[in-house]
Amino acid sequence: MQEITSSSPRDIAGTLLSRIAERGGASRAELARETGWARSTVSQWIDRLGHAGLVVEGEAAVSAGGRPAIPVRLNPSAGKLLTATFGATHARIGVSDLRGDPLGETEKTVRLDQGPDHVLDWTQESFRELLGQVGATAEDVRAITIGLPGPVHFVHGRVVRPPIMPGWDGYPVKRHFAARYPAPVIVDNDVNLMALGALHDRFRDVDHLLFVKIGTGIGCGIVVDRRLHRGADGSAGDIGHIPVADSTEVCNCGREGCLEAVAGASAIAGELKLASPIEIAALVHGGDPKAVHAIRRAGQRIGRVLAGLVSFANPAAIVLGGSLAGLRDILLTEIRSAVIGQATDLATRALRIEISPPEVDVARLGAVALGREAALSPEAVRRLVEKSS
């Protein structure tokens, strides 16, 4: 492990806590050896982290000789992480401990077209109720993560011209919560959270990954070197608005031929004259030839777009999620065939293309991971240590 040469007091506490959290525990001697800092310096800051309630020391480990090592571990009770992940018509609100283990959750039908004030006020009330259920207050919150199904300017925490979220354009989502909690607030696109969640769930051995959400819209979360890639302004991965060659359909963004306008769930439901995209699966499973044909064609179109991404980005895995991903026997076959057939041989020879298990809430996992990273950042830890002093 690479030694750390900086010894700025601003960084030491956060760096030590991050090392302890990553490893699940480490002795003072191990931390001194790994960081290159003096044992006395490490001990001093471990004491300060302990005084702040951020770490605890466990029972001494068995030693072959000499003084037994006492592991220092992250105190999961040192704070709470709040998460809210939204679809077009539903939301999941959760509270976790600092280790990321869930403590409570609520799920409800919530329509985003009711506007940001209504939706976020409900979210705030749900946070308050969940914190009360676990015996915590706003002061115990270490980070809040909000996932939304629209383009998000990550730095500013604002939604930018979201197609299915009327009234949200430019709304300061981040500020809505920052005024209520003394903690970092992260606002991100929902598919980015899903990509990060899949990485932490079943793809821990993968460094480069694409998560493709196929539902009302079509989006892609991009992981490069195990970190989210958002692009310059946060719009990386918005593949639903890549034009496809065989269509002039008008998209809800106002442009023609977007992938989402011909292969998204709403587009397919409209083509089949269905009242809701939920009915698509029933028709497909019943063998309806028009529905099966529509899904096959959607899979081919999505696969052609992904083939270009695979040749360009060379991911190790593509994970499919969203409401249409459950039609795996048809959709997955067509997507895999198009990707393997059209992307370069070197980029596809070891490529994994899989469906995200519907029973795993990867959006929540990703939201917790982002929140935990913010809560354990050097800046956040420094503030907690200084406050406790």
Please report which confidence band the pLDDT of residue 386 belongs to, taking 50, 70 and 90 as the band edges. Answer: confident
- Cα torsion 113, 117, 118, 122 to 10°: value is 120
Summarize pLDDT for 319-357 with one digit per residue, the tens: 999 888 878 788 999 999 999 999 999 999 999 999 999
Burial class (CB in 10 A: 0-12, 13-18, 19+), 212: buried
Summarize pLDDT for 103-147 with one digit per residue, the tens: 999 999 999 999 999 999 999 999 999 999 999 999 999 999 999
Percent of the chain with pLDDT over 70: 95
When the pLDDT of each residue in the chain is averaged and rounded to a whole number, the result is 90
| Dist. CA 162–CA 151, nearest whole Å | 6
Type and span of the H or E element at 84: strand 80-86
**Residue 59 pLDDT > 90, yes or no?**
no
pLDDT at residue 324, as a whole number = 86
The CATH superfamily holding the domain 79-193+363-379 is ATPase, nucleotide binding domain (3.30.420.40)
Type and span of the H or E element at 194: helix 190-201
**Residue 81 pLDDT > 70, yes or no?**
yes
Specify the residue for token string 């994970």: 319
Strand partners for 189: 148
| Higher-pLDDT residue of 257, 289 | 289
User: What is the CATH number that goes with domain 203-359?
Assistant: 3.30.420.40
pLDDT at residue 105, as a whole number = 96
| Higher-pLDDT residue of 58, 37 | 37
| Dist. CA 189–CA 220, nearest whole Å | 10
Considering the domain delimited by 9-74, tell me its CATH architecture.
Answer: Orthogonal Bundle (1.10)
Please report which confidence band the pLDDT of residue 5 belongs to, taking 50, 70 and 90 as the band edges. Answer: very low
Are the C-beta atoms of residues 377 and 343 closer than 8 Å to each other?
A: no
Q: Where are the domains of the chain?
A: 9-74, 79-193+363-379, 203-359
Please report which confidence band the pLDDT of residue 9 belongs to, taking 50, 70 and 90 as the band edges. Answer: low
pLDDT at residue 3, as a whole number = 41
**Residue 68 pLDDT > 70, yes or no?**
no
Please report which confidence band the pLDDT of residue 387 belongs to, taking 50, 70 and 90 as the band edges. Answer: confident
Mean pLDDT, rounded, for 274-280: 85
Summarize pLDDT for 135-153 with one digit per residue, the tens: 999 999 999 999 999 899 9
Are the C-beta atoms of residues 222 and 234 closer than 8 Å to each other?
A: no
Please report which confidence band the pLDDT of residue 4 belongs to, taking 50, 70 and 90 as the band edges. Answer: very low
pLDDT at residue 216, as a whole number = 83
**Residue 221: which of 301, 147, 156 has the closest Cα?**
147
Report which listed range, 22-26, 50-54, 101-105, 156-160, is most confident: 101-105
Domains 79-193+363-379 and 203-359 share a fold: yes
Helices marked H in 202-288 — which ranges?
A: 259-263, 265-271, 278-285
Summarize pLDDT for 17-40 with one digit per residue, the tens: 988 988 888 999 999 998 889 999
Mean pLDDT, rounded, for 279-298: 93
Please report which confidence band the pLDDT of residue 10 belongs to, taking 50, 70 and 90 as the band edges. Answer: low
